[in-house]
Every structure is written in structure tokens, then in C-alpha cells.
């Protein structure tokens, strides 16, 4: 075991047995001050790092996967995991305690993502695998609290925007975690006309992020208004759907250009969603009609992408939107807020908390 490590740690653990047919994040998690340290902290695997977590942030995938019985069964079947409670969440920032990653050393301030099935960020210590794709140094001028938010939301937004080049992009669901990053990253990448959708209360907020136009889906029919904008301003090259609104794909003739792309990141892990996605992917190819491509983006780990976003934050081009900070003991409350679908930006959980990584004169 690495030097100076305690025998136990503070953590949020999933208490339901792996075979429980019905288990939710709000009924099956609890805070403990005496969780076991990650089993692999005693002998780090290659290309991994033991990190003392400063801050974590949560995403829908962090509860959608553990709520699946099959996922929990597979997780507990991993080596050394059978006697270790599942610890949710993957996005983190913190300090390296020990590392087998080239170029990452003890004391480095880092951020990134602990991918499923391991997760583990809602704890004082986490072992992050995946090398420099998942463990990235925090640049000077970036707060640790901000760095933890980049993970899933920031990288997903960047990778969606990189699927297509063009001038006009629609970001459906522009006020949430991925959407707030998407609007700002689109402007940083040079998209000329960035249009976001949101509810009435968030219109001014999304405009403040840098959106060139905003559609209020509470007061306007989304497809009708997008068609009007398509005729008046020109069709979109890319549509990014953060909230699973397939009607904007099926109704896209007139506002998504021929050869354009619709990318969705949302949807539950279910047969119904799979069938709906399959229809969007293949029916237009078989039957014709919609002359644009649909795709589902599965975020891939990418250290260069993480670093790029962190640099934009340091330069002031992107500013993470943090709706609220919770204590580790309040993680269940944070998940309930996330599930409500009404969060503006990101929810951050303070685990250990650390001094900001800001250069001092």
C-alpha cells in the first residue's frame, strides 16, 4: 500500500445486492466514513494512478448504469470487486498519490474520468485506469472544482462538435451540463451561428453563454420554429440532441441541410430507446426522405480533448457552469436533483477539497 494511506476512507457506496431486480440511486446508496480503499490501491495496475479526490461531478450515466441489474452483476464479477461495494461516479479532480503512468507523478494536480465499470469518484481515493487518456494535469489558472466538471459533459460536447464541420449548429438542451459546454465550445471552435433550445427561464442564461439564437420550447413548437429559422437564416449543418427529442430529426427537412448530421447523446439504456435509435439510423437509408445522417455518440476517453478544454478554461474561452456544490454526505440529494432534469449546468460534490491550482505572484 502506498505510504501514508489510511485503512479506510469516506465514500458513497451502493448498498443493494447485485441481483436486486429493482434498485435506484436514491434508495440504494449511503454515505460511510469507513469504506475500504480500492483493492488495487495496494498494487497499482500498469498505466493507472491512485488519486486523492478533491471534487467529483455526476452525470446521468452515473446512475443509469448502476441501476441496471446486469451491470451490477458484471461489476461484482470483476477481479477483487466481489467484496468491495460499488462506488458511483467517474468525473474527478484531485492529487496523485501514486502512479504507474509515464509523465504523471506523485503530487500532480490532475482531472479526468474513471470509466465504467470501475467508477469510484465519490470517495476520498480512487484508482483511475486508462493512462493519460483518463488522467490529465490541471493547467495553471484552472480551479480544481472547475476541472472536475470537464469529464463526460465537456468531452462529449467537444466530440459531438467534431463529428461535422460547418457554420451553423443547433444544440438541443443548451442549459444542461453538456449543453452549457456545447454552446461555449462551439464558439471556441469557430462555429459562426450557434442556436440553443431551452425553457423560458433559461433563455437569458443561454444567451449569456454566447448563443447567437435561442428557441424557447415552452412557448414555441420546436419543429415549426426551427423550420422558420431554416428558411430565414439557413439550414443547420449539425444538430446535437442532449435531451432525446427524435421529433427534431424526423421533422428536420427544411432546417437540417442535405448531408448534415443529427447526433444524439441522450436516452435510457432500454429496448425502446434502441429500437427508436435504430429507426433513425436505418429507415432513412432504406426508405429515403431525410437526406441527413443520424448517429449516437458514445464518448471515448481522450486526454488531448480533456487538455484542450482545460486550456480553453484557463484562457477564459469556456467557463464551467456549476449549479450547486454538495458535501459528500449529500450525494444522494445531488442525484435526486440531477434526475429531476431541471439542473442548469453541473452539480459538483466536494470530497476532500483542495487548494485551487492558481498561480500566485
CA angle 336, 337, 342 (to 5 degrees): 135
CA diameter of the chain = 65
Residue ranges of the domains in the chain?
A: 8-149+320-350, 152-296
Residue that has been written with the C-alpha cell 442564461 in this structure: 205
Question: Which tens digit of pLDDT belongs to each residue from 281-297?
Answer: 444 443 343 444 555 45
On the question of a common fold for 8-149+320-350 and 152-296, the answer reads no
* CATH fourth-level superfamily of 8-149+320-350: Medium-chain alcohol dehydrogenases, catalytic domain (3.90.180.10)
- pLDDT, residue 80, reads 54
Is residue 86 within 8 A of residue 122, CB to CB? The reply is: no
Distance CA 58, CA 148 (A): 10
Pick the CATH number of 152-296 from 3.90.180.10, 3.30.420.130, 3.30.360.10, 3.40.50.720: 3.40.50.720
Question: Which tens digit of pLDDT belongs to each residue from 184-218?
Answer: 999 999 999 999 999 999 999 999 999 999 999 99
- pLDDT, residue 270, reads 45
Question: Which tens digit of pLDDT belongs to each residue from 337-356?
Answer: 999 988 999 999 999 987 55
Question: Which tens digit of pLDDT belongs to each residue from 64-117?
Answer: 877 776 666 666 555 555 556 789 999 999 999 999 999 999 999 999 999 988
What is the rounded average pLDDT for all residues in the chain?
A: 86
Question: Which tens digit of pLDDT belongs to each residue from 22-44?
Answer: 778 878 889 999 999 998 888 89
Amino acid at each position: 500500500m502506498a505510504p501514508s494511506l489510511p485503512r479506510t476512507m469516506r465514500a458513497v457506496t451502493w448498498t443493494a445486492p447485485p441481483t436486486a431486480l429493482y434498485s435506484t440511486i436514491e434508495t440504494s446508496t449511503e454515505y460511510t466514513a469507513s469504506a475500504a480503499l480500492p483493492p488495487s490501491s495496494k498494487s497499482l495496475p500498469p498505466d493507472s494512478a491512485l488519486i486523492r479526490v478533491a471534487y467529483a461531478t455526476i452525470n446521468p450515466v452515473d446512475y443509469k448504469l448502476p441501476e441496471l441489474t446486469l451491470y451490477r452483476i458484471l461489476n461484482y464479477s470483476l477481479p477483487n470487486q466481489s467484496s468491495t461495494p460499488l462506488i458511483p461516479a467517474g468525473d474527478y479532480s484531485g492529487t496523485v498519490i501514486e502512479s504507474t503512468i509515464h509523465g504523471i507523478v506523485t503530487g500532480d494536480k490532475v482531472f479526468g474520468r474513471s470509466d465504467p465499470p470501475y467508477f469510484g469518484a465519490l470517495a476520498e481515493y480512487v484508482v483511475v485506469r486508462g493512462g493519460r487518456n483518463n488522467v490529465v494535469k490541471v493547467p495553471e489558472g484552472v480551479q480544481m472544482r472547475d476541472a472536475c466538471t470537464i469529464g463526460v459533459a465537456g468531452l462529449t460536447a467537444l466530440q459531438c462538435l467534431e463529428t461535422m464541420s460547418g457554420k451553423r449548429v443547433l444544440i438541443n438542451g443548451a442549459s444542461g451540463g453538456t449543453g452549457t459546454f456545447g454552446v461555449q465550445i462551439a464558439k471556441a471552435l469557430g462555429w459562426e451561428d450557434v442556436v440553443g433550445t431551452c425553457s423560458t427561464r433559461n433563455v437569458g442564461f443561454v444567451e449569456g453563454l454566447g448563443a447567437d439564437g435561442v428557441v424557447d420550447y415552452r412557448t414555441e413548437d420546436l419543429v415549426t420554429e426551427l423550420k422558420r429559422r431554416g428558411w430565414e437564416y439557413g439550414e443547420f449543418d449539425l444538430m446535437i440532441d442532449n435531451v432525446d427529442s427524435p421529433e427534431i430529426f424526423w421533422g428536420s427537412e427544411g432546417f437540417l441541410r442535405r448531408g448534415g448530421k443529427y447526433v444524439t447523446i441522450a436516452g435510457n439504456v432500454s429496448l425502446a430507446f434502441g429500437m427508436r435509435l435504430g429507426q433513425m439510423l436505418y429507415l432513412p437509408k432504406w426508405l429515403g426522405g431525410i437526406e441527413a445522417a443520424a448517429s449516437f455518440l458514445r464518448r471515448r476517453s481522450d486526454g488531448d480533448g480533456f487538455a484542450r478544454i482545460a486550456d480553453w478554461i484557463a484562457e477564459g474561452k469556456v467557463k464551467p457552469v456549476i449549479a450547486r456544490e454538495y458535501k459528500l454526505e449529500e450525494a444522494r440529494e445531488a442525484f435526486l436533483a440531477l434526475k429531476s432534469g431541471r439542473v442548469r449546468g453541473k452539480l459538483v460534490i466536494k470530497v476532500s477539497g483542495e487548494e485551487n491550482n492558481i498561480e500566485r505572484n
